Copies of this chain bind each other. A is one copy, B any other.
């Protein structure tokens, strides 16, 4: 899809950026790309995220139909999260962002080391 500098494209890009915005969502999606995970394991996997923040980000992802929540046990509560089939469609977007970021870092750091 050729970039036409039209409103629909810009709105679409902004939609994706809104879904991925913030420091944590991409980490959560990338972690769940590997396997379903319990809340506690996810929190351990994503360094620095609080339980409250993780819970709120997962809720956003659920609303956007990217993540599914399953209650394994009620008492004490044990909950598991997994990417929905739809959630996996983000994998390519994230890989693309990661690929560009890796070469960007090399290029920018490379320049800094040169000077």
Contacts and interface: CB of A to CB of B under 8 A. Distances in A.
B30 A5 contact: yes
A54 interface: no
A101 B16 contact: yes
Copies of this chain: 2
B17 A105 contact: no
B12 A97 contact: yes
A78 interface: no
A114 to B, nearest CB: 13
Interface string A1-37: 1110100111111111101100100110011011000
A26 B17 contact: yes
Interface string A61-96: 000110000000000000000000010011111111
